[in-house]
Amino acid sequence: MFANKTIAIIGGGTAGWMSAAWLQHHCDDTARILLIESDDIGTIGVGEGTTPHLSVFFDTLGIKEQTWMPACSATFKNGITFTNWTSRPTAPSYFHPFPSASDRYSAGFFLQAVEAMRKNVPIGPTLPDSYFLSWHLTQAAQSPRRIKTGANIPLSYAYHFDAGLLARFLREWCEQRGVIRYQGRITRVGQHENGQISAVYTNNIDSPINADFFIDCSGFRSLLAQQTLNTPFVSYADSLLNNAAIALPCEALSPLSPHTVSCAMPSGWRWQIPLQHRTGNGYVYSDSYISAEEAEQQLVQAVASKPLNQSPTHLTFRVGRLEKTWSENCLSVGLSQGFIEPLEATGLHLVLCTLSEFTAAMARCNESQQAMNTVNESISARFDGIKDYIVAHYLMSDRNDSEYWRAARSVTPSDTLQALLDCWHNGGNLITKIDKLGISQYYSVISWYCLLAGYDAFTQNKTHPRAPLQWQQLQEKLKSWQAHFLDHEEALNQFL
């Protein structure tokens, strides 16, 4: 792949150095990989949570957790706890686990309870929490790493980390393997007569930096894709209202809890992400309903630990994606290709999906129109699928306490999401509907059930029954499995 060719990555940060590492691993030994970044341009670095898919990245490169996690102040993530997203007293919060092979035993009970409630014949609790081993581990501040007992209890998990430290770690890893770094601010982009990009010019190098292929990791500026190639942007602003965020680092929590917390706020939601050396806090909101100053005040009042001695970081963004991730001889990765608010921590998930699709298509078809079409169709569909799932969080809420929430609950869903919600509310076969809509590749059936049941948004009036004997036996089984897992901080200390 890219034999005897030069690939130039524009921009560093997590997306840039992930791209460099991935391409260095997959490209021909004769390929030359460059990365140009400016020390004067800071990185966003807000997203400090991931999905389990990120483990594919490290496993592919052969980088062990014991190597990268201590260097990036990383912690384990069993799932996401959503609080205050509904005013229903029966569902003040719910835990969304990462579906695992071990859940085959317990997920069936969860689906049965939900389906029975949808028919107004309740047989057991319908919040997902206690049906999943990940929740039990999180409640006990236990990691997803097993004690070496030989117990066959596979568990999916993700990570929290310091984005700046991860970029630095990957930079060192890449430079040790031959990736060439240029430091400088790009002042001009050159193009061939056919419109393809030929070179970039920087403020501190007299000659152009030429390349055969370019990776745009320039962030929201989208220097190559939008500013140079004029790639159209598909906005999601009509269905996702949030367009601003504040990041506020605080002292580390003790004990560390292996989950992300997403708490609904008057004009958006805030995150809490536990790292080894600090706690990441932030508020994602719409500036149409609250000012930056008011949002900062609300966030400071809400955080659970003392803010560190540094100013909050304010940023604005637009939600949506490029019409084409791959245009001409340029692939956009990260914020340059699009952004969906970080409610489900999908930023780096999309980076890895883009890189994986790109190298797979190149291996099959090289730099052909077929490869380009495959990547563009796949990534656009993935963006749209993730967007629908996030929109569903707002549409399922019953919050009516602010103008923001009334607006967020009244957006028009896509045809796909509307069909799924209609099926849920009308008592249809949700599993069949998800399969027919072709969306399970973005979020599994279990994930959809966790979201929909997590809001306790059942059409029928119902009472919550006492837990049946079968459910109690399930809890005992999960508790017995829990005994095989390490304390969260004990698991991290094994790396130090």
Query: Any bridge partners for residue 247, and if so which?
Result: 282, 313
Asked if residue 16 belongs to a known ligand binding site, the reply is no
Cα–Cα distance, 346 to 205 (Å, whole number): 36
Query: Any bridge partners for residue 201, and if so which?
Result: 188
Residue pair 211/221 in contact by the 8 Å Cβ criterion: no
Asked if residue 15 belongs to a known ligand binding site, the reply is yes
Asked if residue 14 belongs to a known ligand binding site, the reply is yes
Query: Any bridge partners for residue 76, and if so which?
Result: 159
* Active site annotation includes 77: yes
Q: What is the pLDDT of residue 496?
A: 65
Cβ neighbours for 259, distance < 8 A, ≥ 6 positions apart: 77, 78, 79, 80, 81, 95, 138
Torsion of CA 358, 437, 158, 486, to 10 degrees: -140
Residue pair 92/436 in contact by the 8 Å Cβ criterion: no
Asked if residue 335 belongs to a known ligand binding site, the reply is yes
Task: State the catalytic residue, choosing from 5, 77, 306, 433.
Answer: 77
pTM listed for this prediction: 0.95
Instruction: Using alpha carbons, select from 44, 54, 50 the residue that is nearest to residue 13.
Output: 44
pLDDT tens, per residue, the chain with 496 residues: 899 999 999 999 999 999 999 999 999 999 999 999 988 765 555 558 999 999 999 999 999 999 999 999 999 999 999 999 999 988 899 999 998 888 888 899 999 999 999 988 888 889 999 999 999 999 999 999 988 777 788 899 999 999 999 999 999 999 999 999 999 999 999 999 999 999 999 998 889 999 999 999 999 999 999 999 999 999 999 999 999 999 999 999 888 999 999 999 999 999 999 999 999 999 999 999 999 999 999 999 999 778 887 789 999 999 999 999 999 999 999 999 999 999 999 999 999 999 999 999 999 988 889 999 999 999 999 999 999 999 999 999 999 999 999 999 999 999 999 999 999 999 999 999 999 999 999 999 999 999 999 999 887 655 555 566 688 888 898 999 999 999 999 999 887 6
Asked if residue 344 belongs to a known ligand binding site, the reply is yes
* DSSP per-residue letters across 64-131: -HHHHHHHTT-EEE-EEEEESS---TT-SEEEEEPP-TTHHHHHHHHHHHHHHHHTT---S--SSGGG
Amino acid identity of residue 59, one-letter, is: D
Pairing of the two strands 142-146 and 158-160: unpaired
Q: What are the residue ranges of helices labelled H in 219-315?
A: 292-302
Phi, psi of 481 (to 5 degrees): -70, -40
Q: What are the residue ranges of helices labelled H in 338-487?
A: 347-365, 369-395, 403-408, 415-425, 430-437, 445-454, 469-482
Q: What is the pLDDT of residue 273?
A: 95
Asked if residue 13 belongs to a known ligand binding site, the reply is yes
Residue 181, H or E segment: strand 180-183
